[in-house]
């Protein structure tokens, strides 16, 4: 059954398929400590029912095994001259792409057995990186992301909890060694120590999950990151083994890597939905994306942006107007100093 599931997973486009037990997470204590420090920022869902999140058996009674799957999103992309977007956002929303394949894999399991299954793709209350390391798929790096010796940093995780009893694979051990490139690369010092992430300072949180104003003291450090951040991932030496995934390359989106920021400042709600529905950028909503655009223009823009920023100060969304005013002030300061 194990071999059949792995074979089917690879046929469906998954790049890795590994197995572990449904025992409680190995690093539950570290997770509880992370929450106690407030490092989860405004992501309150991370702190709800923490013991449930660390025990797959509380999600699926009688769970015996966890199937851990990976899909690579590695691709060669040109560096944006304006606003940077996280590499994973250059594809159709992975939640939708992977969900379709997970449903098919669960259906395959049901055809072979009467086992119960419950699948997640970055949506369930599971410590997926902990499970993935225990399944031998990769190891948690000092930047807290999972690193695969076969895929580097560039891959999505998903899981299937099942009542099937499947022999677990050998777990993975850490292979960071003395490397600290990721810690040094973070623009906002969101990695206060190895294996610790303070989401309150993380650019990915600030530009995506954060629904409010970006703290003024962190705006300059955001640089030209308009949606997410890959800095700690990109410098990892294990990326030399990264391979382009067979599945995600079919869902590449042209134009996301190099957005026209001035054009975006003029986009209305209907235009935003038409342009970004079905993409990861839709998660930030118009108010969040244009907030980020204003911050980037404040950091790297020039006088050509002032006219549209002035219009943005009158936007009906106060969040956009506030950040547009800040951007104007930054551009004028640079012009005065030069």
Has 122 been annotated as catalytic? yes
Q: What are phi and psi of 106, to 5 degrees?
A: -65, -40
Q: How far apart are CA 315 and CA 308, in angstroms?
A: 11
Do 2 and 19 meet the contact criterion of CB atoms below 8 Å apart?
yes
DSSP bridge pairs for 225: 84
Terminal C-alpha separation, the chain: 69
- 13 φψ region: left (φ > 0), alpha (ψ -120 to 50), beta (else): left
Do 160 and 117 meet the contact criterion of CB atoms below 8 Å apart?
yes
From 62, 96, 122, 260, the catalytic residue: 122
Do 188 and 295 meet the contact criterion of CB atoms below 8 Å apart?
no
Q: How far apart are CA 131 and CA 142, in angstroms?
A: 17
Task: Give, as one character, the DSSP assignment of residue 266.
Answer: T
Distances in Å between the alpha carbon of 54 and those of 31, 127, 132? Answer: 9, 6, 13
Q: How far apart are CA 90 and CA 99, in angstroms?
A: 18
Do 97 and 165 meet the contact criterion of CB atoms below 8 Å apart?
no
Residues 6+ apart with CB under 8 A from 269: 286
Q: What size, in residues, is the chain?
A: 338
With H, G, I as helix, E, B as strand and everything else as coil, classify residue 204. Answer: helix
For the annotated catalytic residues, the residue numbers are 122
């Amino acid at each position: 059954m194990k071999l059949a599931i792995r074979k089917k997973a690879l046929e469906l486009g998954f790049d890795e398929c590994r197995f572990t037990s449904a025992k409680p997470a190995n690093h539950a204590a570290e997770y509880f400590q992370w929450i106690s420090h407030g490092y989860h920022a405004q992501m309150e869902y991370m702190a709800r029912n923490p013991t449930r999140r660390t025990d797959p058996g509380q999600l699926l009674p009688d769970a015996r095994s966890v199937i851990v799957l990976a899909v690579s999103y590695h691709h060669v992309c040109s560096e944006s001259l304006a606003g940077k977007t996280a590499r994973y956002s250059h594809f159709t929303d992975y939640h939708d792409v992977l969900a379709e394949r997970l449903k098919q894999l669960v259906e395959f399991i049901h055809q072979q057995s009467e086992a119960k299954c419950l699948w997640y793709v970055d949506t369930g209350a599971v410590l997926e990186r902990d499970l993935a390391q225990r399944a031998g798929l990769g190891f948690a790096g000092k930047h807290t992301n999972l690193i695969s010796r076969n895929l580097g940093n560039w891959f999505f995780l998903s899981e299937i909890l099942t009542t099937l009893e499947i022999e677990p694979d050998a777990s993975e051990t850490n292979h960071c060694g003395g490397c600290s490139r990721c810690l040094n690369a973070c623009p906002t010092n969101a990695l206060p120590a190895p294996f610790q992430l303070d989401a309150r300072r993380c650019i990915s949180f600030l530009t995506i999950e954060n629904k409010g104003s970006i703290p003024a003291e962190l705006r300059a450090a955001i640089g030209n990151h308009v949606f997410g951040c890959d800095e700690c991932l990109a410098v990892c030496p294990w990326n030399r083994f990264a391979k382009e995934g067979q599945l995600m390359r079919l869902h590449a989106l042209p134009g996301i890597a190099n957005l026209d920021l001035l054009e975006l400042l003029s986009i209305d709600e209907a235009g935003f939905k038409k342009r970004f529905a079905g993409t990861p950028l839709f998660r930030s909503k118009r108010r969040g994306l244009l907030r980020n655009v204003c911050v980037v223009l404040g950091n790297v823009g020039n006088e050509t942006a002032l006219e549209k920023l002035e219009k943005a100060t009158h936007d009906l969304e106060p969040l956009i107007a506030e950040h547009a005013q800040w951007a104007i002030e930054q551009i004028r300061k640079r012009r005065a100093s030069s």
